[in-house]
């Protein structure tokens, strides 16, 4: 059973799936150890962490698929993986899907923006005709079937900001009919809009919560009651880490020492144990490994 099947079982359980965004292999391991059953890989986060740049479609398929492989290996949990626009037309989408399958994604997220894309909560987005996105979803489904994979398809529409909620719902229904397993209506702006979205579909729905952005932050109980199947917090960890590092570096520059932060750190021994130093030592002993 692959990670796609694991995600399908989580969805069938009817309890809303909480998928936090992860920054890298280390944060993926930490999130998995914290008990999350599903994680999320964000293009916004990867652009910030890998390039120090905004989510403007700057990353490429090889960079994203390589990052995904590292996250899957570290976490050993289902990962919903952002693939932006699929990096081209439906033919390009086929290769993107194949690469994400080989990297171990539980689900691939494709969106109907033009390329280069923008973060879904930023201004300046443009969208392709719905019929073109339908062909991308069909191409993704064909590739998954041909490769015998259990990976799921998350189809996202950014139409709400440009053409209104009714058009976003119309597109979401088209993408579901084309074979998308999960529908993602990006950036509803009120609880009422979230209610309308939740009442408009029978397929599992994903909701995206970003602190300080367009969609209101509802409680897990409220989202469950509305009927959403998955809630992602794609950027929360990035914002927490960014603020923490800002504070730490400022204090270190001012004081010339990290002493004020000792009680906020994991210590040397605990960190080495967490990242598996003991297992590596055991392998060295098993193979009598020496430097070469």
Per-residue pLDDT tens over the stretch 14-30: 899 999 999 999 999 99
Distance CA 285, CA 38 (A): 34
Q: What is the pTM of this model?
A: 0.95
pLDDT in tens, 71-108: 999 999 999 999 999 999 999 999 999 999 999 999 99
Q: What is the pLDDT at residue 85?
A: 95
Nearest in space to 250 (alpha carbons), one of 239, 262, 264, 260 = 260
pLDDT in tens, 183-216: 999 999 999 999 999 999 999 999 999 998 889 9
Q: What is the pLDDT at residue 137?
A: 98
Which residues lie closer than 8 Å to 180 by C-beta, 6 or more apart? 137, 153, 154, 155, 203
**Phi/psi of residue 88, nearest 5 degrees:** 145, -155
Judge contact between 118 and 55, C-beta under 8 A. yes
Q: Give the H/E segment covering residue 80.
A: strand 79-82
Distance CA 121, CA 235 (A): 12
Residue that has been written with the tokens 């919903």 in this structure: 80
Q: Give the chain's mean pLDDT.
A: 94
3-class SS of residue 23 = coil
Q: What is the 8-class DSSP label of residue 113?
A: B
Q: What is the pLDDT at residue 288?
A: 82
Average pLDDT of the segment spanning 149-176: 97
Q: What is the pLDDT at residue 118?
A: 66
Judge contact between 230 and 80, C-beta under 8 A. yes
Domains (range + CATH), the chain: 3-241 (3.20.20.60)
């Amino acid at each position: 059973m692959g990670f796609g099947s694991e995600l399908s079982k989580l969805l069938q359980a009817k309890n809303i799936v909480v998928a936090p965004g992860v920054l890298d292999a280390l944060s993926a391991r930490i999130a998995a150890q914290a008990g999350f059953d599903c994680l999320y890989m964000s293009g916004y986060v990867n652009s910030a962490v890998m390039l120090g740049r905004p989510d403007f479609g700057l990353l490429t398929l090889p960079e994203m698929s390589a990052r995904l492989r590292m996250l899957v290996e570290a976490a050993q949990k289902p990962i919903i993986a952002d693939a932006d626009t699929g990096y081209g037309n439906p033919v390009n989408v086929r290769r993107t899907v194949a690469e994400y399958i080989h990297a171990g994604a539980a689900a691939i997220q494709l969106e109907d923006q033009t390329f280069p894309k923008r973060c879904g909560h930023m201004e300046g987005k443009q969208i392709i005709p719905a019929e073109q996105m339908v062909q991308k979803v069909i191409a993704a489904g064909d590739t998954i079937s041909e490769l015998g994979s259990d990976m799921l398809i998350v189809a996202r529409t950014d139409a709400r900001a440009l053409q209104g909620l009714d058009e976003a719902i119309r597109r979401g229904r088209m993408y579901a009919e084309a074979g998308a397993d999960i529908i993602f209506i990006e950036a509803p702006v009120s609880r009422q809009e979230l209610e309308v979205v939740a009442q408009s579909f029978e397929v599992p729905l994903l909701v995206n919560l970003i602190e300080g952005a367009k969609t209101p932050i509802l409680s897990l109980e409220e989202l469950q009651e509305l009927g959403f199947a998955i809630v992602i917090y794609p950027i929360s960890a990035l914002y927490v880490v960014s603020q923490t590092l800002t504070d730490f570096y400022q204090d270190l520059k001012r004081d010339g020492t990290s002493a004020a932060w000792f009680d906020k750190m994991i210590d040397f021994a605990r960190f080495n144990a967490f990242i598996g130093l003991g297992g590596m030592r055991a392998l060295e002993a098993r193979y009598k490994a020496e430097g070469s």
